[in-house]
Amino acid sequence: MPDYLSKLTPDNAAMLLIDHQTGTMLGVQDIRLDQFRSNVLALARTARAHALPTVLTASYAEGPNGPLMPELLTMFPDAPVIYRPGPIDAFDDPAFAAAVEATGRRKLIMAGVTTDVCLYFPVISALARGYDVWAVYDASGCWDTMSELTSCMRMVQAGAVVCNWAVVTAMLQADWRRQEAAQHTLGIFGEHLPFYGMLANNLAHRTPGASAGE
């Protein structure tokens, strides 16, 4: 049985970012496009902060789906980028399956541009291959809210852990005493969770000498 009770760590997880292409992203309607983009970048920055093995993939990039987000290619210049000529399920592409296997990790953090297809299909395939899967719903999206909700339900029924990007970021940080990683995590939270940036600003500008209760 897959082990869903153990936590993600920088030593046991890999990041799969699936089909975050600038054509298909325009069809996501259950979340504002600017928020969707921010969530994807927050998740990607988390992977980079903890040096997670990362695999990028795109489907039918020469067609209407369009190219991958340029920020992802800049962020991961050495990561394998699998351009799938036909398969809709990323795991149906042998090169993608091989790249995931090459990470040596059995816990996969996965996000896909559309939750109902680009994420759901490879999540099911990964589970069938014995991987533990953490499906990040807010770095994925759908045409409407009902499609998003039912897709998340199906992934839970199949055995995936469905969560948001902040859960992944916090779990990988694990302890604020990990100072080097903490600086990256604080930066990610501050930029991509606006309320957290405001909290940090409030703390930085507390009146000198004031007690916590004042």
198 is a domain residue: no
Q: Which pTM was predicted?
A: 0.91
205 is a domain residue: no
* Count of the separate structural domains present in the chain: 1
The sheet that has 54-59: what strands, in order across it?
A: 81-84, 54-59, 13-18, 107-112, 132-136, 161-163
133 is a domain residue: yes
2 is a domain residue: no
The range of the structural domain enclosing residue 94 comes to: 13-173
Tokens of 57: 């993939």
206 is a domain residue: no
45 is a domain residue: yes
Question: Which of 118, 142, 152, 163 is an active site residue?
Answer: 118
CATH number assigned to the domain comprising residue 140: 3.40.50.850
Residue-by-residue pLDDT tens, the chain, 214 positions: 567 788 999 999 999 999 999 999 999 999 999 999 999 999 999 999 999 999 999 998 888 888 999 999 999 999 999 999 999 999 999 999 999 999 999 999 999 999 999 999 999 999 999 999 999 999 999 999 999 999 999 999 999 999 999 999 999 999 989 988 988 998 999 899 877 766 666 655 554 554 444 4
118 annotated active-site: yes
